[in-house]
Amino acid sequence: MNRLIDTLRHALGAGHVLTHDDPATDLSPWEHDWRQRAKGKALAVVRPGSTAEVAAVVKACAAAGVSIVPQGGNTGLVVGSVPDDSGTQIVLSLTRMHQVRAIDAANLTITVEAGCVLQNVQEAAAKAGYLFPLSLGSEGTCTIGGNLATNAGGTQVVRYGNARELCLGLEVVTPQGDIWHGLSGLRKDNTGYDLRHLFIGSEGTLGIITAATMKLYPAPAAQLTAWAAVPSLDSAVQLLGLAHQHLGAGLTGFEVMGQFALGLTDKHFPQLRVPLWRDHPYCVLLENSDAESEDHARARFEALLESAFGQGLVSDAVVAESLQQAHNLWHIRESISLAQAEEGLNIKHDISLPVSNIPAFCAETDERLAREIPGVRLVNFGHLGDGNLHYNVQVPEDGDPAAFLNDHEERVNHLVFDQVLKFGGSISAEHGIGSLKASTLPHYKDPVALALMRSLKQALDPQNLMNPGRVLAA
């Protein structure tokens, strides 16, 4: 392995090839996953500064038969971007590749390198007068490469789609070290297989995304946010349909939050002043982006809420009167995961279902979990507008969190995933599969689809050097 390390240092410079041999170097930031569920050990962490350097790293590793774990902001939730504990894998960190290469105003596109932090892409677009709509809780840390590798979702999927729908072109280094130059930015290109979509969502198992051309949108003239208490999940679903009717494409966010989830936020972050949660089983957060004016946006919002009150779909509501108030409401929503972490260890589920099936799924699954594990607490929240729930299970009050996970995690996962399958859903909506769900996937994925995925992996990466053990179990 010393020869490989020497080759990598020659290609990148010694300062960008980090190993455990240097006692002053701490590799733990690259070896721990964000949730602290796993700790690996890397042979080395390499930090290329260009696509050519990425290609040089991949060629050297392919020649040596050494596997590569690509890593962006390392904010993933399914243990997909840290090495195993063998000490034989290279972690390829893309954070030095953080340039905005170009903004094409006429084509409404922005081309960025894979290590560009999502928030920086948003700010670069805003500075040029445009909107880049991908938005999620980790946007100050996560990178575009990671967003695309996992097909990230976020809070505005209901209007703009996942990362996949926002991408028009990719630059990718293949497992052999070749560079695919696919940054065309074309909206129409009917010349064969769509390789771009193949690499998006592949979690670094088919190649390494080094740059992307992404869609931009005109900045809205106004954005309004409302927080509404609803009497049931079924009412929330009906409110969503009503919002589509009244707001059309202006509906850019529709989040649902259960009472216990908001109660945790109120308990651990009382300064946030969570509204309306104490007396209502669910609250909904809506965002309306308007191309005309704030007056037009407010009139449409008020018409929506008037109709919703009249139909008994909303029990109470507040509309943000300023950008700061809107920010505060979104901050409450984004703090649920942090509040849950403060409460202690938990079992997370990132699932998607047909929106029409969500009330029945929750009613039946809530009841089954309560019956089988007395005292279990359910932290249910998520992106109702696109059918994505974070259906999390918290330890019973006064229970031992570590013992609960050890005794119940597998059982809870099977129960929830079986219910997801029954109601026509997916066990992973936006977090991906990683290594955490790789062994579970075959139980819930169509076998023909799984066989096709294995064929693609074998064809593109016959040495199995690209993030092995992720998505497809060994």
pLDDT tens-place values along the chain, 474 residues long: 689 999 999 999 999 999 998 887 889 999 998 877 789 999 999 999 999 999 999 999 999 999 999 999 998 888 899 999 999 999 999 999 999 999 999 999 999 999 999 999 999 999 999 999 999 888 999 999 999 999 999 899 999 999 999 999 999 999 999 999 999 999 999 999 999 999 999 999 999 999 999 999 999 999 999 999 999 999 999 999 999 999 999 999 999 999 999 999 999 999 999 999 999 999 999 999 998 998 998 999 999 999 999 999 999 999 999 889 999 999 999 999 999 989 988 899 999 999 999 999 999 999 999 999 999 999 999 999 999 999 999 999 888 888 998 899 999 999 999 999 999 999 999 999 999 899 999 999 999 999 999 999 999 999 999 999 999 987
Cβ contact 427:440 at 8 Å: yes
Same domain assignment for residues 87 and 145 = no
Residue finishing a domain among 218, 234, 256: 218
CATH of residue 46: 3.30.43.10
In a domain, 189, yes or no: yes
Task: Check residue 79 and report its DSSP letter.
Answer: S
Same domain assignment for residues 105 and 199 = yes
Given this model, what pLDDT does residue 345 score? 85
Cβ contact 242:384 at 8 Å: no
Give CA–CA dist 156/131, Å, rounded.
12
Given this model, what pLDDT does residue 270 score? 96
Given this model, what pLDDT does residue 227 score? 97
Which residues, other chains included, contact 379 with Cβ-Cβ below 8 Å and sequence gap of 6+? 258, 260, 261, 264, 336, 340, 346, 390, 392, 393, 394
Same domain assignment for residues 192 and 240 = no
Cβ contact 461:206 at 8 Å: yes
CATH of residue 185: 3.30.465.10
For residue 332, give its domain range: 222-337
Tell me the two tokens of residue 31.
């070896």
Q: Which residues of 297-334 are buried (b: 16+ CB within 10 A; e: fewer)?
A: bbebbeebbebbeeeebbbebebbeeeeebebbbebbb
Residue with tokens 């243990």: 79
In a domain, 88, yes or no: yes
Burial of 78 (0-12, 13-18, 19+ CB in 10 A): buried
In a domain, 182, yes or no: yes
Which residues, other chains included, contact 40 with Cβ-Cβ below 8 Å and sequence gap of 6+? 31, 82, 83, 84, 85, 89
Same domain assignment for residues 214 and 227 = no
Give CA–CA dist 146/75, Å, rounded.
9
Same domain assignment for residues 122 and 169 = yes
Give CA–CA dist 54/172, Å, rounded.
10
Cβ contact 413:78 at 8 Å: no
Compute, in degrees rounded to 10, the torsion defined by CA atoms 294, 295, 300, 302.
Answer: 110
Residue finishing a domain among 279, 304, 337: 337
Cβ contact 183:212 at 8 Å: yes
Give CA–CA dist 373/400, Å, rounded.
14
Work out the angle between the directed axes of helices 2-12 and 51-64 (0-180°, nearest 10): 170
Same domain assignment for residues 299 and 322 = yes
Q: How many domains, in total, are found in the chain?
A: 3
Which residues, in sequence order, are bridge partners of residue 217?
A: 131
Tell me the two tokens of residue 247.
């707001």
Same domain assignment for residues 319 and 333 = yes
CA-CA-CA-CA torsion sign (323, 75, 125, 297): negative
Which residues, in sequence order, are bridge partners of residue 222?
A: 290
Cβ contact 297:224 at 8 Å: yes
In a domain, 86, yes or no: yes
Given this model, what pLDDT does residue 2 score? 84
- Which run of H or E residues covers position 91? strand 89-93
In a domain, 69, yes or no: yes
Same domain assignment for residues 214 and 228 = no
Same domain assignment for residues 227 and 319 = yes
CA-CA-CA-CA torsion sign (411, 413, 415, 418): negative
Cα-flanking dihedrals φ and ψ of residue 324, to 5°?
A: -65, -40
Residue with tokens 């700061």: 324
Same domain assignment for residues 132 and 213 = yes
Give CA–CA dist 434/447, Å, rounded.
19
pTM tops 0.85: yes
Residue finishing a domain among 287, 302, 337: 337
In a domain, 263, yes or no: yes
Given this model, what pLDDT does residue 399 score? 86
Same domain assignment for residues 232 and 170 = no
In a domain, 198, yes or no: yes
Which residues, other chains included, contact 70 with Cβ-Cβ below 8 Å and sequence gap of 6+? 81, 92, 94, 145, 149, 204, 208, 209, 466, 467
Give CA–CA dist 442/451, Å, rounded.
10
Tell me the two tokens of residue 64.
């040596």
In a domain, 123, yes or no: yes
Same domain assignment for residues 317 and 214 = no
